[in-house]
Amino acid sequence: MEWLSAENVVAVGTAVIGVVASAVMVWYERRVPRRKRLGYRVQMDNPIGDDVRSGRANVRLGLFDETPGMSDATLVLLRIENDGAQSIAGDDYTSRERHGLTAVFTDRTIRGVSVTQPPGTDHLMDHFTAAAGLGYADGTLRIPRVPLNRGEHFKVLVLLSGGDVGCPIRLIGGIRDGEVRPNRSTTPDDQPPLFSRAARLITVLLTVCVVTLALIVVLRDDSPPPIGCAQGTLTVTGSTAFEPVMRELAEKYEEDCAGATITVDAHGSTAGVRELDAAGQESKNGSPAVVALSDGPKPGDFPRLRENRVAVSVFTLVVNDDIPLRNLSLTDVRRLYRGEIRNWKQLGGPDRPVLLVSRDANSGTRQVFQRRVLGRGEIANSSLDCVHKDDATAPLVRCELDSTDQVLDTVARLPGAIGYSELNNAIGHQGLHRLGLDGHTASVEDLEHGTSDSPYREIEYAYTYGQPPADSLASSFLSYVGRGSGQDVVRTHGHLPCGTPVGLRICGAG
C-alpha cells in the first residue's frame, strides 16, 4: 500500500483538524467566556479562642486573654488572584463605590486586617489605602480596586470574633467582560487549574478518538483493488524465460482481485502460441481464457492472434567457469554455432572441446538467439546427454533442453559448455558466467539509458485469440500487467516495461 494515498491524506488531515479543534475549544473555553477572571479562596479559617462552639479547645496566652471579646476569635486568610487570561485594571471593577470588592464574613465581626503580597509585587501595596477605599465595618471588608496582571495575587489576613469557624464567607463585586468567582486549591499556594474538568475530559477524549481513527486508517491495508477486477479462470502459457514474471503477477492479481484464478503453465513460446490458436479454434464463445507469452513475434501462420507488447527482454550467452573468456565477437559466436570452432583453444581459451547447450525448437529464447545473433538456424542436434555425440559425423556436441533452467544447470555442470539464457535468470547462477558480445555486456540499465548496443534482446509479446471482452479476466489481467504495480514486477525481474518512456520507444520500433 502506498502511504501517500487519498484515504491516508484525508485521515491524517482529519487528525490534524481534530487536534486543532481541541486546542481552539480549550482556547475558547479559557479566553472567550472568561477573558478576565478574579478568583478567590479561603486558605485558612482557624479558631484562636476557647469557645467550645468551634468544636475545639485552645490554649491561649498574652494578648488573646487580655483583649476583651476575644473568647471566640478566629483567623481567616483570604487569597485573591487574577486567574484569567488577561490583566485586570483598576477601572475594570464595576462597583459604584470607591472600592472594588466587598468581603462579607457572615455572623462574625472584623477586629483587624493585614494585607500581604508575594515577593516582586510590592507595587500592589500602594493601592491598599483608606483613600482607595480600604476599610471595614462589622462583618464587611472593603477591598480597593487593585490592578492585577495575569497570575498576580494578594492575601488578606482577617481577625474576627463573634462567630464560629466555617461561617460563610463571600466576595462581592464584578469585573467588566469577566467575572469574580471562587476557586480552589489543594494546598494554600497551589495555582488554580488551567482548564476546567469538563474541558480537560472533552479534549483528551476527542484527541484520542481522532488520532486512533487516523492510525486505523493509515495502518490498515485497504488498498483498492485494481480498476476493472474480473473473476473467473485464466491460463497463461508460452515463454519459460518470462514464466517467473507471470507467476508473480498472477499471485498479486489473485490477492487484489477475489474470485480470480490464474494458472501459469509455460512450456515454450512456439508451443504456447500453437496452444492458444488451437484453443481459439475450438472455442464456441469467442476468445478463450488463454494468454500466450512469446519471446519475439509469433510466426505468420496464426492470423487470428492479437498481440500485446509487454516488455523488452535482454538475453545473454553463458559459459562454464572453466572457460576464462569474458567477451566474444559476433563473428566468433556464429562460427561456434556453425560448428567451425570445435575447441576453446581456437579462441584463446583452454584446450577443451566446445559443448553447445541449446533450447528445443519450441523455445522463444532460441528463436531470438537465431534471429538476433546468428542470423540463421543452429546446426543439427547431435547429443541426448550433452556430453557424447550420438552422431559420429557431427562436428561437435550439441544438445537441446526444454527450459532455461535446464540450460543454465547443464552449462554450470559441464566444463567447456556454452549456452544462452534470459539475463535475469543467469545473474547469480553458480558455476558459469556471462559473455559479452562485441564488447557489449547485456544490461537492462544500459539499454534504458541508451548506452547498450547488445543485439541479443527482444520484445516480449502477450497474445490473445482475437480481442477478448473488455470485462474478461484476460483483458483485465493484461491491463494489470501493463500499469503501476505490474510494471514494478516486470522491472524487478530484469525486464524493461513497454509502458515506460524508453520502453515505448523500443517496443514501438519493434
Pairing of strands 101-105, 169-172: antiparallel
Tens of pLDDT along the chain (510 residues) come to 445 555 566 567 667 776 776 677 666 655 554 578 899 999 888 887 665 454 455 666 666 666 777 777 888 999 999 988 889 998 999 988 899 999 999 989 999 999 988 888 788 888 898 888 999 999 999 999 999 998 889 999 999 888 888 889 999 999 998 889 998 765 545 555 555 665 666 677 667 767 776 776 666 655 544 456 888 999 999 988 889 999 999 999 999 888 899 999 988 888 899 999 999 998 887 889 999 999 888 877 888 999 999 998 889 999 999 999 999 999 999 999 999 999 999 999 999 999 999 999 888 889 889 998 999 999 999 999 999 999 889 999 999 998 899 999 999 999 999 999 988 889 989 999 999 999 888 888 888 787 777 788 888 999 999 999 888 999 999 999 888 888 889 888 888 888 888 888 888 776
Contacts of 250 (CB under 8 A, 6+ apart): 236, 262, 263, 264, 477
Q: Is 289 exposed, middle or buried (0-12, 13-18, 19+ CB in 10 A)?
A: buried
Compute the Cα dihedral for 384, 385, 390, 391 and give only its sign.
positive
Q: Is 368 exposed, middle or buried (0-12, 13-18, 19+ CB in 10 A)?
A: buried
What are the distances in angstroms from CA 246 to CA 64, 76, 261, 286, 481? 103, 88, 13, 24, 9
Q: How many CB atoms lie within 10 A of CB 90?
A: 13
Cβ proximity of 314 and 443 under 8 Å? yes
Q: In the prediction, which pLDDT does 52 show?
A: 40
Hey, is 314 helix, strand or coil?
A: strand
The pTM assigned to this predicted structure is 0.51
Q: In the prediction, which pLDDT does 104 show?
A: 94
Q: In the prediction, which pLDDT does 505 show?
A: 84
E strand or H helix at 246: helix 243-256
Q: How many CA atoms does the CB half-sphere of 260 hold within 13 Å?
A: 28
What is d(CA 76, CA 105) in angstroms, rounded to the nearest whole number?
Answer: 10
Contacts of 387 (CB under 8 A, 6+ apart): 355, 397, 414
Q: In the prediction, which pLDDT does 65 show?
A: 64
Q: In the prediction, which pLDDT does 225 show?
A: 47
Cβ proximity of 285 and 264 under 8 Å? no
Phi, psi of 336 (to 5 degrees): -60, -45
